[in-house]
Structure 1
Amino acid sequence: MTSRYSSEPRHWNEAHATFYGGSDATGTMDGACRYGNLYSQGYVSNTAALVTVLFKNGAACGGCYEIKCWNNTQWYNPGNSSVFITPTKLCPPNDAFPNDNGGWCNIPQEHFDMSQPAFSQIGFWRAVIVPVLYRRVLCHMDGGMRFTINGNRWFNLVLVSNVGGMGDISDSWECDTVLVGQSLSFQVTTAEGMQITSDNVAL
C-alpha cells in the first residue's frame, strides 16, 4: 500500500523542523493518532509529530503536508527540495526549555518533528533544527479506506485510516448501542467536505 500526493497550489507557511527516531523509523511507530504500525497502515516512514497548534486535538491525523527547504541553510540536502509527510503523533510542549533552544514544540510554535527518513530527504541528519515552509496538499491513497475496530461488546473504538483527499476527517461520533452480530456501515466526511459511504465493511 502506497500513498501519492498532489501539490495543488496552496499558501505556504513558515515553520521549523527537527527529527526523531532512528534511520529505520521504528522509533516513530504508534503515537497519539493510534495508527500503530505505520508500515502496515500504509503511511510507511514519511511521517511527523505535530505541535499542539497544528495537531488540533487529533483532527490533523492522516492529513498530508508538503515541507520544503527555506532560507538557504547549510544543513539542507541539495539533492531534494521538498518532502511529503503525514501527521501521526503529537509533539508535546516542554516548558523547561525556551522556544528557541530545545522547546521547539512549545505553544504557539509551528513545528514538524519528522521521522529521520523523512527529514533526511531535505536535510542532513546532523542538523538540530532547520527553517522550512509547509502547506497542505491532497493525498491519494492506494487500497481504499481502512477501518480498525477495538473494544468490547459495550464499547467500540473505530480507527479510520488511509483516507484520500485532504487525508483527515472532520468529525467523530459516539454510539451507546450494543452492535454485536450486526454488520456495520460507515459514512466518512473528510476535511474538505467529501463524503464516502462504505456499506457492510465490518461484522
Structure 2
Amino acid sequence: MEGLCYIFIFCTLVCSAAAAAVADLHWHPATATWYGSPEGDGSDGGACGYGSLVDVKPFRARVGAVSPVLFKGGEGCGACYKVRCLDRSICSRRAVTVIITDECPGGYCSNGRTHFDLSGAAFGRMAAAGGGGQLRNRGEIPVIYRRTPCKYPGKNIAFHVNEGSTDYWLSLLVEFEDGDGDVGSMHIREANSNEWLEMTHIWGANWCIIAGPLRGPFSVKLTTLSTGRTLSAREVIPRNWTPKATYTSRLNFNF
C-alpha cells in the first residue's frame, strides 16, 4: 500500500490509532464580541499569518480572534469552533462555525478569560432572522462554544513557503488542514535522506528550520496539537521551490 502511494501520489498518510476525535460533545461558557464592519469578513491577515486567505472562501466571514487561553501562543491557529449565543430573546439556536486566524490579547480577552472576537458577519449569524443588527448593538454577549472538526471540501493540505526563506532558513505555513486544524509539530526530510528534521514554531501558524544547505525536494510531516494525528506528504515541496510560493499536497486528514 505504501509503495502504491509513493508511485501514484507521492504521499503517505499515517493516522495515530490512539487518536481521539477532535469534536467536543460538551459546550463551555465564554463571551463574544465582534470587530470590523457590521457585515464584514473580519481581520485582514491576523496573528496566525494566513494573510489574504482570510478574505476568501473557505475562510471568508468565518474568521475569529480568540483570547490567549485558546490562541496557545499560535498553536491554536487553524482550530475550528462552534459558537452559540445564549440570549433566546434575540438569538437563534443556530451555532456559527469559526476558524481561528487571529489573537485578541487585551480588553475583553485579558485576565485569563475565554473570549471570541468574531467578524461582524459571523457574529450576526447567531441572531434570529432579521436580528443581526440588534445583536451587534449588544456589544459583548455570553456564548457557549465547543471544538468541531475543520472541513475544507475539495481542499488538500498546502504548504506556503514564507518570504525570506533560503537554503539555510526555511519557514512554512500550513493551510487547509481538515480535522484538528492545529499543528503541534512539523518535520521536513531532504531529498535522498531518511532523517526527519524537526522544525521550530516561531509565531502564529509559522514554523521554521535553521540548517543547511537544505536540499529539496522536501517531504513534510505534521502532527496535530489536539489529537496527535500524523500526516506525511512525500516530496511536496519541489527541488526548485521559491519563497512566497504555495505547494499543495494530495492529502488531507479524513474525519
TM tier relative to shorter chain: 0.7 to 0.9
* TM-score in terms of structure 2 length: 0.67
Alpha-carbon spacing, 1:29–1:200, altered in 2? closer, same or farther (3 Å): same
Does residue 52 of structure 1 match 2:68?
Answer: yes
1:163 aligns with 2:198: no
CA distance in 2, matches of 1:118, 1:155: 37
Quick one: higher RCO (CA 8 Å, sep 6+), 1 or 2?
Answer: 1
Q: Secondary structure at the match of 2:69?
A: helix
Pick the structure with greater CA Rg: 2
1:152 is displaced (CA, Å) by 2.9
Aligned partners of 1:52 and 1:107 also within 8 Å = no
Give the equivalent residue in structure 2 for 1:184. Answer: 218
C-alpha change, 1:147 and 1:41, in structure 2 (3 Å) is farther
Preserved contact between residue 51 and residue 90 of structure 1 (Cα < 8 Å): yes
**Between 127-136 and 175-184, the greater mean CA deviation after superposition:** 175-184
Native 8 Å contact 1:49 1:87 kept in 2: yes
2:103 maps to which of 71, 82, 90: 90
Query: Would the aligned equivalents of 1:186 and 1:198 in 2 still touch at CA under 8 Å?
Result: yes
In structure 2, the residue matched to 1:133 is 144
**2:112 aligned to which of 100, 103, 108:** 108
In the alignment, the residues of structure 1 paired with residue 56 and residue 139 of structure 2 have an alpha-carbon distance, to the nearest angstrom, of 30
Whichever residue aligns with residue 57 of structure 1, its letter is G
Contact 1:85 1:118 in 2 (8 A): yes
SS at match of 2:98: strand
TM-score, reference length from structure 1: 0.83
1:13 matched to 2:28: yes
Corresponding letter in the other structure for 2:108: W
Identical residues among aligned pairs (%): 30
Q: Give the drift of 1:180.
A: 5.6
Q: Which amino acid aligns with 1:125?
A: R
**Kept after mapping to 2: 8 A contact 1:62/1:86:** yes
- Aligned pairs, how many? 185
Residue equivalent to 1:3? none
Q: 1:98 maps to which residue?
A: none
Which amino acid is the alignment partner of residue 18 of structure 1? Answer: T
1:181 to partner: Cα distance: 5.3
2:157 aligned partner: 145
Q: What 5-or-longer segments of structure 2 have no aligned partner?
A: 1-20, 128-134, 187-198, 201-208, 239-255
CA RMSD between the two structures: 2.1
Residue in 2 aligned with 1:100? none
Q: Deviations over 1:63-115 (max 9, x none)?
A: 0100112143x4x343x52100011000011xxxxxxxxx3111211100001
Greater per-residue helix proportion? 2
CA displacement, residues 134-164 of structure 1 (integer Å, 9 cap, x when unaligned): 0011122231111001123232210012111
